[in-house]
Homo-oligomer: A and B are copies of this chain.
Amino acid sequence: MDNAVTLSRSLKLRNKFSYLPALSHHYNYEEYKGYSEKYRNFNWNVGAAILASVLVSSTSTDVSSDKLKKNKQEKTEKYKIIEAGEKKPNLPTYRAEEISKHNTKNSFWVTYRHGVYDVTSFLPSHPGGEQIYNAAGLSIEPFWNVYGMHKTKEVYELLESYRIGNLHDDDLVDHSDEELWATEPYRDPRLIVKTAKPFNAEIPPEYQIAHFDTPNELFYVRQHMPVPELDAGAHRVRVVLEDTGHSREFSLQQLRSLPAASVRAALMCAGNRRSEMHKVKPVKGIDWAGGAISNAVWSGVYLRDVLLTCGVDPDDTEGKHVILTGADIDATGQNFSTSIPLRLALDASARVLLATHMNGEPLPPDHGRPLRVIVPGAPAVRSVKWLECITISSEESSSHWHKKDYRAFNPSTTWESADFERAPPVYSLPVTSAICAPRHGDTVTAAGEGATPRTYTSQHALVLCTLTTCAGYAYSGGGARVVRVDVSADGGRSWTEARLQQDAAPHREHYAWTLWTVRLPVPAHATQAELWVKATDGNLNTQPETFEHIWNIRGILSNAYHRVTVRLQH
């Protein structure tokens, strides 16, 4: 049975981290209750219940599929050379027991392979916030195996700067991560890998504009943890009504007895285009270019129908939330979870889906096989994959992914001053757009072959119609339809309206992206041009010009004008 499989896998992971407390959470609460009990009195002095997600900014690395395969057998040459934790003969040696005593904010030691590190002074600036407290006095290797974005030259060097000694050889533990990642699915080599473990990869811009509905194998991938292997036939999703204590399980077969539903919706990571904001001032998070958005037709049943079937009262939504829990598990044994307001889940026009299919095919493993949520118009993090549990609660999800991430702050808010409790969760996305072709640095031919070169006078200069078509995407969250895309090649002195390719859904229920093309006049005689794009949506909101005043510590909602510099050939 699938739950058994999941449970077994979950326990396998938990056994691997058996020195860690299992945290009570909303997933399979009853099954895990006994398990949690066992660890209730575990001496855990740094309050592990509240974790922050890992926010390391990784640099873009274009990893080919060959490399990916090699990674499964051996470390790359790069890692061999610079990996932290080599034995250093001139430093003192510590026993694990001694190290484990340095487990407070006042004295905080960790180990990595042979290395012993006093990272006390680093604690306030850990990008993952309090998550680091899980490793107090312990090896950080199990965590880094799950949050693979740590494994970069820069982080290794940073870690070594806190080196104080060597771990005694008798206390060395093999924290090899092979097992965790052994069942990762095959990925299309055309994806642009940002982090390999967990797997995070962009769709290349040329494939974004090549299909209105992105082929499944090219859909961008955003994972927080290893991909769970679930059996569609055995899978059950449990609906729990916290106030009455009632719960009900559905097989996929049972879900199919509800009316079939399908929604064409783009999914976009709230951090899409973060790399552009990062250039203004560093932010923490995966260094996405514009490839963390793709579009698909999702099919399954409406979450609304499932909830009504379970007796949820549509007139009693005030202050209630739907906690969505997936089968993916982090290094502390916590399942991925987030929540959305119950009002949103029950709003027919919000069209929140429990999806089994993507573009007519069963969901691929990377996209939540066999069941995921689709919250159209919301940051993709709300569209929980490998869905196992739906809890109607008077509280938002208590997971760190929900409580300590995906919240918006102004540019002056620092990690120290950010009040995550007070900042509302992000449940929608602002209007955005990007130029997919030409690419930054491309040479484009103005008035080339096959063109009827036409010159005309604008307000500012003679301009020439370029033959090279400029194309890209635009998108707005919350059901807003994009109504106009404007493109400029002369620093905003003149704007040309693009032609739009759109889904037929009306404004307020429009969840797909918009593709656009434009024959763009470019300045005559110029050798290069900076192309700008901005979109306007059905609420008449448009994008901010620059990132300066929307900058935020987490680098989300990065929707200023997209700008691409090209060389011009006349």
The segment from A11-19, A404-412, A437-445 found at the interface with B is A404-412
- Does residue A116 face the partner (Cβ distance < 8 Å to B)? no
Residue in contact with A536 in the complex, picked from B347, B408, B427, B506, CB distance below 8 Å? B408
The segment from A98-106, A191-199, A351-359, A479-487 found at the interface with B is A479-487
Write out, one digit per residue, whether chain A residues 505-547 have a CB within 8 A of any chain B CB (1) or not (0): 0111000000000000000000000000010111111111110
Residue in contact with A430 in the complex, picked from B496, B541, B557, CB distance below 8 Å? B541
Question: Which of A410, A497, A540 gathers the greatest number of chain B CB atoms within 10 Å?
Answer: A540
Beta-carbon contact of B544 and A427 below 8 Å: no
Beta-carbon contact of A548 and B412 below 8 Å: no
Beta-carbon contact of A540 and B426 below 8 Å: yes
Beta-carbon contact of A492 and B410 below 8 Å: no
Beta-carbon contact of B540 and A477 below 8 Å: yes
In this complex, the interface size class of chain A, counting residues with CB under 8 Å from chain B, is 35 or more
Q: Which residues of B contact A550 (CB under 8 A)?
A: 542
For A534, give the chain B residue with the smallest CB separation. B549
- Does residue A148 face the partner (Cβ distance < 8 Å to B)? no
- Does residue A333 face the partner (Cβ distance < 8 Å to B)? no
A304 to chain B, nearest CB (A): 14
A536 to chain B, nearest CB (A): 7
- Does residue A370 face the partner (Cβ distance < 8 Å to B)? no
Residue in contact with A483 in the complex, picked from B424, B534, B539, CB distance below 8 Å? B424
- Does residue A495 face the partner (Cβ distance < 8 Å to B)? yes
A314 to chain B, nearest CB (A): 12
Docked complex: A336-361 residues within 8 A CB-CB of B: 341, 343-344, 347, 349
- Does residue A434 face the partner (Cβ distance < 8 Å to B)? no
Q: Which residues of B contact A458 (CB under 8 A)?
A: 412
Beta-carbon contact of A540 and B492 below 8 Å: no
For A532, give the chain B residue with the smallest CB separation. B549
Residue in contact with A410 in the complex, picked from B413, B426, B484, B538, CB distance below 8 Å? B484
CA distance A549 to B544 in the complex (A): 10
A322 to chain B, nearest CB (A): 15
Beta-carbon contact of A492 and B430 below 8 Å: no
Beta-carbon contact of B540 and A428 below 8 Å: yes
Majority SS at the chain A contact face: loop
Docked complex: A536-570 residues within 8 A CB-CB of B: 536-546, 548-550, 557
Docked complex: A407-422 residues within 8 A CB-CB of B: 408, 410-413
- Given A349-B347, A478-B508, A483-B424, residue A495 in contact with residue B538 (CB < 8 A): no
- Given A428-B540, A539-B429, A545-B546, residue A410 in contact with residue B557 (CB < 8 A): no
CA distance A430 to B480 in the complex (A): 12
- Does residue A161 face the partner (Cβ distance < 8 Å to B)? no
- Given A424-B483, A478-B508, A484-B408, residue A431 in contact with residue B541 (CB < 8 A): yes
Per assembly, the copies of the chain total 2
Q: Which residues of B contact A537 (CB under 8 A)?
A: 541
- Does residue A8 face the partner (Cβ distance < 8 Å to B)? no
- Does residue A251 face the partner (Cβ distance < 8 Å to B)? no
Beta-carbon contact of B543 and A430 below 8 Å: no
- Does residue A494 face the partner (Cβ distance < 8 Å to B)? yes
Beta-carbon contact of A343 and B540 below 8 Å: no
A458 to chain B, nearest CB (A): 8
Beta-carbon contact of B343 and A539 below 8 Å: no
Q: Which residues of B contact A545 (CB under 8 A)?
A: 544-546, 549
- Given A411-B495, A495-B549, residue A542 in contact with residue B540 (CB < 8 A): no
Q: Which residues of B contact A410 (CB under 8 A)?
A: 484, 486, 495, 497
Beta-carbon contact of A508 and B549 below 8 Å: no
Question: Which of A483, A537, A542, A548 gathers the greatest number of chain B CB atoms within 10 Å?
Answer: A542
CA distance A506 to B342 in the complex (A): 12
Beta-carbon contact of A427 and B484 below 8 Å: no
Write out, one digit per residue, whether chain A residues 490-504 have a CB within 8 A of any chain B CB (1) or not (0): 001011110000000
Beta-carbon contact of B557 and A506 below 8 Å: no
Write out, one digit per residue, whether chain A residues 259-301 have a CB within 8 A of any chain B CB (1) or not (0): 0000000000000000000000000000000000000000000
CA distance A541 to B413 in the complex (A): 18
Write out, one digit per residue, whether chain A residues 432-475 have a CB within 8 A of any chain B CB (1) or not (0): 00000000000000000000000000100000000000000000
- Given A412-B495, A539-B477, A549-B495, residue A506 in contact with residue B343 (CB < 8 A): yes
CA distance A476 to B430 in the complex (A): 13
Besides the contacts A343-B506, A537-B541, what 14 more A-B pairs have beta carbons closer than 8 Å? A347-B508, A408-B536, A410-B486, A410-B497, A411-B492, A411-B495, A428-B507, A428-B540, A429-B540, A430-B542, A431-B541, A478-B538, A478-B539, A492-B548
Question: Could you show 26 A-B contacts with beta carbons less than 8 Å apart?
Answer: A341-B506, A408-B483, A408-B536, A410-B497, A411-B492, A411-B495, A424-B483, A428-B539, A428-B540, A429-B539, A429-B540, A430-B540, A430-B541, A476-B539, A477-B539, A478-B480, A492-B548, A492-B549, A495-B549, A537-B541, A539-B539, A541-B541, A542-B550, A545-B545, A545-B546, A545-B549
**Considering the complex of A and B, which 6 residue pairs feature the smallest CB-CB distances, nearest first?**
A541-B541, A428-B539, A478-B539, A430-B541, A430-B540, A410-B495
B-contacting residues of A (Cβ < 8 Å)? 341, 343-344, 347, 349, 408, 410-413, 424, 426-431, 458, 476-478, 480, 483-484, 486, 492, 494-497, 506-508, 534, 536-546, 548-550, 557
